[in-house]
Structure 1
Amino acid sequence: MDAFNDRTSTLTLLATRRSGKARDMDAPGPNAAQLDAMLGAAIRVPDHGKLNPWRFVVIERRAAFAEALLAAYLTDKPDAGRLEREAVTQFASFAPCLIAVLHTPRESHIPLWEQELSTGAAIQNLMLAAHAQGFVANWLTGWAAYSPAVLALLGTAPERIAGFIFIGRQAKPLEERPRPAADAVIARW
């Protein structure tokens, strides 16, 4: 493939990436080599100071993670009803692949804001790499991303959970969401 077609393919990939709903994903998920390639692409992001202010936790023991999530949830909401409890445990089983992304700030002269941007870029690269391999991905946060008890399962402060990335095959057709008009978000100075 010549360089022009390669660039065109990349632009097409970028223009066609969409999030799939985690609860609508089916197996198969990525195999070990595909997942390694995705994570390899995720770490090739702008990273001022070479700080690696992000970490990936591949959640393999999903049933155990669901139990731990529920225990964390019940710490804050001991009176949670059956539907709430089911929703919490189902979260852990959405999609065949689940990766928690941790923002890991580093003591540095590099501003925290730049480190946070690098973490977001790592997530975007992960999602683009999933798309490039024929999968869909979904970045979710919700209560679990802000729970100190869930953070304790995955990391330690001052780390923060940037989100949970679900990867799988889309079982239902993807819906295009409204996108802003270019002139509403692009200015020329």
Structure 2
Amino acid sequence: MSRNTSDPSLDFDLALATLDARRSVPPKQLGEPGPDPDTLMRLLRSAVRVPDHGKRVPFRFISFSGDARHAFGERLAQRSRQRDPEASDAVIEKDRTRFSHAPLVVAVIGRLGPDEKIPESERFSTASCVCFALLQAAQALGYGAIWLTGWLAYDAQVAQWLGLAEHERVVGFVHIGTPKLDAPERERPDPAELLSAWSPA
């Protein structure tokens, strides 16, 4: 049932508070505790409620927690050195610890094989919506989160480690944990400057 937005009793700010408060928390500022397995499943149940033309479900998830995060980081460091033998120790260390800060990282994988009816761009958009919905769900439960990609989202060796099929790709790595600090607000665009109304010529 639709809400009557002309109802003066409807508090817009309260109704949209979670959306309005969303902000990214850097991985280094995400600590324990993270979502336990049951909470993760609850987050994902909300995250999958996205527009999905043709009901293709063009996404799946891979989670990283515990020691698996550090083991994956060791592989990333190795791959980083292969990609750039001249990379500094600081760069290698950054890759080694990419997944070591937040207690949980969820890779959202786009499943984008041939489809006679639904364009790949629409299916990728659906998978992208999942990343955003997961951010919103995490924050609604009091966690901090950030959606990242980086070189590893596009690297063939990393895709092999993740077990991606030929037509799959990483849409994002969503890092989730408890914020150590309040993430600062940043300037947001003014929607009034972005909106135009079409009219017939």
Query: TM-score with structure 1 length normalisation?
Result: 0.91
Q: Deviations over 1:80-105 (max 9, x none)?
A: 33211111011021211111111110
The correspondence of residues 78-157 of structure 1 with structure 2, limited to 5 A, is: 78-108=85-115, 109-154=117-162, 155-157=164-166
Count residues in correspondence: 187
Match of 2:79 among 66, 69, 72: 72
Conserved 8 A contact 1:21-1:138: yes
Q: 1: distance between equivalents of 2:130 and 2:80?
A: 28
Conserved 8 A contact 1:145-1:163: yes
Which residue in 1 is equivalent to 2:6? Answer: none
Output the aligned Cα RMSD. Answer: 1.9
Q: Secondary structure at the match of 1:187?
A: coil
The structure having more radius of gyration, on CA atoms, is 2
Unaligned 5+ segments in structure 1 are none
Unaligned 5+ segments in structure 2 are 4-8
Conserved 8 A contact 1:69-1:89: yes
Q: Secondary structure at the match of 2:40?
A: helix
Are residues 1:54 and 2:59 paired?
yes
Conserved 8 A contact 2:25-2:144: yes
Higher helix share: 1
Q: 2: distance between equivalents of 1:74 and 1:10?
A: 48
Q: Secondary structure at the match of 1:102?
A: strand
Q: Deviations over 1:32-82 (max 9, x none)?
A: 111111111111111111111111100131121111212222231233332
Instruction: Give the deviation of 1:7 after TM superposition.
Output: 8.0
Query: TM-score with structure 2 length normalisation?
Result: 0.86
Instruction: Give the deviation of 1:106 after TM superposition.
Output: 3.1
Conserved 8 A contact 1:101-1:163: yes
Conserved 8 A contact 1:51-1:106: no
Which residue in 2 is equivalent to 1:39? Answer: 44
Which residue in 2 is equivalent to 1:186? Answer: 195
Q: Deviations over 1:130-164 (max 9, x none)?
A: 01100011001111111111111111332111111
The amino acid that maps onto 2:181 is K
Shift of the 10–120 alpha-carbon distance from structure 1 to 2, 3 Å rule, reads: farther
Q: Secondary structure at the match of 1:100?
A: strand
Conserved 8 A contact 2:33-2:178: yes
Provide the identity percentage: 34
Match of 2:173 among 164, 176, 183: 164
Q: Secondary structure at the match of 1:91?
A: coil
